[in-house]
Every structure is written in C-alpha cells, then in structure tokens.
C-alpha cells in the first residue's frame, strides 16, 4: 500500500522533473531559476536556510547563490544577528528575470496543464500541497 505509493511517488516525481525540465528549457538552468524562485518567495534568507528548505546540501545552495549573485539576480547583506551568516534577497533584475522564466515555464507546460479537467486540476493542486507539506516537515533526508 504505502510501499507502492512511495515507489510511485519517486518514479513519477523524477519522471515529471525530467520531462518538465526539458519542456521548459529556456536560457536559464533549472537549478538556478528554482533557487531564485525560492529566494524570491521566502527571502531574505540565509544560504543554509535555502539549503534546508529546498532539501539540497549547503555547498549546493552556496554555489547556486554565488551564480545568482554573479548575474546580479540576488544580493547579499550581513545578517545582523550573526557575523557568520548572510541574508540573500532578490534584486529587481532578479525579479524581472524570474518573471520571464516563470512565464516561459508556464507556456511550456500550458498545453498539458490546459488539457486537464477542472477536477484533475484540483486533484493535482491538492496532491502538490500534500507533497510540499510532506517534505517540509520531514527530517533532512535521513
């Protein structure tokens, strides 16, 4: 029961990720716009916080932030509470770039998403909310 659901979740989530990543292929690598999206949505936040919430390792998050910074899409500021930490936030350029990318992703997936019935749409959105919650409250990957 749960074993089958667990396996299916892994298989289908990975499959969707591969498919959608290719379908949405724009000028911006997936990992990069994903990180930008999360910073925009939840920032300003620390590198380690980004890593934790996105379920990647800290050095991965560091590298992504550095790439984003290099493009001028995010900026760093000192965290007043801790001299070791910095806060990452999107710049206006970053927000513009993100909007473009979101539009591109939306367009790429529109044919398939648009083909869903209202009920399917709702099922998908509700399932997604559960999945988001499931990961959010999980221990960090065992």
Partner DNA sequence: AACAGTACATAGGTTACCTATGCATCGTCC
Partner DNA sequence: GGACGATGCATAGGTAACCTATGTACTGTT
Binding site for a second copy (CB under 8 A): 2-25, 30, 34, 37-38, 54-56, 102-103, 105-106, 108-116, 120-121, 123-135, 137-142
Site for DNA in 48-107 (CB under 7 A): 48-49, 55-60, 62-63, 65-66, 76, 79, 81-86
Cα(97)–Cα(50) distance, rounded to whole angstroms? Answer: 19
106 binds, among DNA, a second copy, none (CB under 5 to 8 A by kind): a second copy
Query: How far apart are CB 84 and DNA at their closest, in Å?
Result: 4
Residue 139, helix vs strand vs coil: coil
Q: Which of 84, 105, 113 is nearest to 37 (CA)?
A: 105
Residue 94 vs 116, nearer CB to DNA: 94
Residue 46, helix vs strand vs coil: strand
CB under 7 A: which stretch of 2-10, 40-48, 108-116, 126-134 binds DNA?
40-48
- Give the DSSP letter string of 54-121: HT--HHHHHHHHHHHHHTTSEEEEE-TT-TT-EEEEE-HHHHHHHHHHHHHHHHHHHHHHHTS-HHHH
Judged by the rule CB under 7 A, the positions of this chain that interact with DNA are 14, 18, 21-22, 29-32, 34, 46-49, 55-60, 62-63, 65-66, 76, 79, 81-86, 141
């Amino acid at each position: 029961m749960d074993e089958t659901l667990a396996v299916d979740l892994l298989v289908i989530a990975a499959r969707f990720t591969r498919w959608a990543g290719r379908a949405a292929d724009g000028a911006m690598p997936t990992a990069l716009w994903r990180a930008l999206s999360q910073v925009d949505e939840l920032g300003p936040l620390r590198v380690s916080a980004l890593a934790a919430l996105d379920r990647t390792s800290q050095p991965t998050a560091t590298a992504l932030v550095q790439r984003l910074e290099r493009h001028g899409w995010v900026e760093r500021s000192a965290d007043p509470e801790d001299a070791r930490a910095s806060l990452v936030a999107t710049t206006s350029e970053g927000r513009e770039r993100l909007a473009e990318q979101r539009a591109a992703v939306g367009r790429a997936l529109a044919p398939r998403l648009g083909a869903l019935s209202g009920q399917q749409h709702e099922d998908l959105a509700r399932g997604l909310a559960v999945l988001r919650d499931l990961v959010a409250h999980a221990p960090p990957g065992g």
